[in-house]
């Protein structure tokens, strides 16, 4: 449908929503609570996140039209008349305010939710437009795309469960999500570096030598992984850890059999795999859902719904595995 193209759902539905929902699952498991009883809240938080992602897509495209035309990049809003662009943007903001209405008794959750809007507004909209202000743009995107949405989900889940916020838990999620957010936007900027340099767009990556940044990218990944390890230890559940080893086996196969370069941030000329992304998108949420299903039978329903909503990541893993098995069989025949 045209509306899905306008809000760029293909760029975030399968790639960001499972990660954010996994934090809701983890928070419930950490509190030793089942998932089915608050499944309605999960659905509502997912709707809130969809509204936020739609706002981000529309406001980014509106503010990027001139730069995209200059660099020859496609912009979905160029064929939509300006009044209708504003109508779409205002509609997402009205929906965002309606989402906040349901959290009136939970100011912390509302705060995190609105901060994500603020971060992306500062990132995109002139005259501030942090996107063109180097490291400040990187920080704003990491906060808007990962840090604040993650904290919104954790706080929202605690509100749904009617439990107190555990500040050590939320601090761990904050560190992990911010570092992963930094990797995400830096990867994107370095991927677009040539286009941005062409139109003199002053992003962090456009004025940074990729080779000199490799060491820093490893530091960012190291902090992210350290936070993840502490999260898994704090969670004290075996299946998310089993998921780590399954992912590591897959990553080793990617490198050996498919020849993929494992990268922390900087893309390479050869095919590459961004470290941990498949774990966050598929292994982590599925391991959490399976763990919860072993403890609470009703959680199987949530697991099945998750698989229906987000099949692409799982199918990619299955497809890659079949491809590698076929590669092995061909080698044995040869």
Please write the tens of the pLDDT for every residue from 240-260: 999 999 999 998 888 887 788
Q: Say if 242 falls within a structural domain.
A: no
Q: Say if 104 falls within a structural domain.
A: yes
Three-state DSSP state, 259: coil
CATH number at residue 119: 1.10.600
**225 burial type by CB count under 10 A (0-12 exposed, 13-18 middle, 19+ buried):** middle
Encoded tokens for 68: 């995209």
pLDDT tens-digit series, residues 272-286: 889 999 999 999 999
Among 46, 151, 58, smallest CA distance to 109 is for 151
Position 9 pLDDT exceeds 80: no
pTM over 0.75: yes
pLDDT tens-digit series, residues 208-244: 888 889 999 999 999 999 999 999 999 999 999 999 9
pLDDT band at 331 (very low <50, low <70, confident <90, very high): low
Which has more confidence, 84 or 326?
84
Tracing tokens 């957010």 back to the chain, one arrives at 181
pLDDT tens-digit series, residues 52-108: 999 998 898 888 787 777 766 777 787 788 888 899 899 999 999 999 998 988 999
Q: Say if 192 falls within a structural domain.
A: yes
Q: Say if 64 falls within a structural domain.
A: yes
For residues 35-56, give the mean pLDDT. 94
Angle between the 135-142 and 107-124 helix axes, to the nearest 10 degrees? 150
pLDDT of residue 71: 66
Position 327 pLDDT exceeds 90: no
Helical segments of the chain, H only: 2-6, 13-30, 39-71, 82-101, 107-124, 135-142, 148-161, 167-191, 193-198, 210-235, 238-257, 277-278, 284-295, 299-309, 311-333
Position 325 pLDDT exceeds 90: no
| Range of the structural domain that residue 25 is part of | 2-235
pLDDT tens-digit series, residues 146-192: 999 999 999 999 999 999 889 999 999 999 999 999 999 999 989 88
Could you give the number of structural domains in the chain? 1
Which has more confidence, 200 or 286?
286
pLDDT tens-digit series, residues 105-155: 899 999 999 999 999 999 988 889 898 888 999 999 999 999 999 999 999
Q: How far is CA 14 from CA 22, 37, 145, 182, 223, in A?
A: 13, 24, 14, 19, 25
The angle subtended at Cα 153 by Cα 150 and Cα 155, nearest 5°, is 105
Rg (the chain; Cα; Å): 20
Q: Say if 279 falls within a structural domain.
A: no
Q: Say if 229 falls within a structural domain.
A: yes
pLDDT of residue 328: 56
């Amino acid at each position: 449908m045209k509306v899905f193209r306008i809000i760029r759902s293909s760029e975030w539905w399968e790639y960001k929503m499972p990660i954010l929902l996994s934090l809701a699952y983890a928070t419930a498991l950490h509190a030793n609570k089942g998932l089915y009883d608050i499944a309605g809240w999960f659905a509502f938080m997912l709707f809130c996140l969809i509204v936020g992602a739609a706002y981000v897509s529309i406001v980014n495209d509106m503010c990027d039209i001139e730069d995209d035309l200059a660099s020859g990049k496609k912009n979905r809003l160029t064929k939509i008349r300006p009044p209708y662009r504003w109508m779409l943007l205002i509609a997402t903001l009205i929906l965002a305010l309606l989402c906040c209405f349901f959290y009136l008794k939970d100011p912390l959750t509302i705060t995190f939710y609105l901060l994500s809007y603020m971060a992306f507004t500062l990132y995109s909209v002139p005259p501030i437009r942090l996107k063109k202000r180097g490291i400040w743009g990187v920080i704003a995107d990491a906060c808007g795309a990962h840090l604040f949405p993650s904290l919104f989900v954790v706080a929202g889940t605690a509100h749904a469960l009617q439990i107190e916020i555990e500040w050590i838990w939320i601090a761990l999620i904050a560190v992990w999500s911010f570092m992963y957010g930094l990797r995400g936007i830096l990867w994107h900027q370095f991927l677009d570096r040539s286009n941005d340099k062409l139109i003199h767009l002053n992003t962090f990556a456009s004025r940074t030598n990729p080779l000199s940044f490799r060491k820093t990218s490893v530091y960012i990944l190291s902090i992210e992984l350290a936070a993840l390890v502490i999260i898994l230890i704090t969670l004290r559940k075996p299946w998310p850890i089993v998921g780590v080893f399954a992912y590591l086996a897959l990553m080793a196969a990617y490198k050996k059999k498919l020849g993929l370069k494992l990268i922390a941030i900087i893309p390479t000329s050869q095919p590459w795999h961004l470290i941990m992304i498949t774990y966050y998108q598929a292994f982590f949420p599925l391991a959490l859902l399976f763990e919860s299903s072993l403890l609470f039978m009703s959680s199987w329903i949530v697991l099945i719904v998750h698989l229906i909503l987000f099949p692409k990541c799982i199918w990619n893993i299955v497809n890659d595995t079949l491809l590698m098995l076929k590669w092995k069989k061909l080698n044995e025949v040869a």
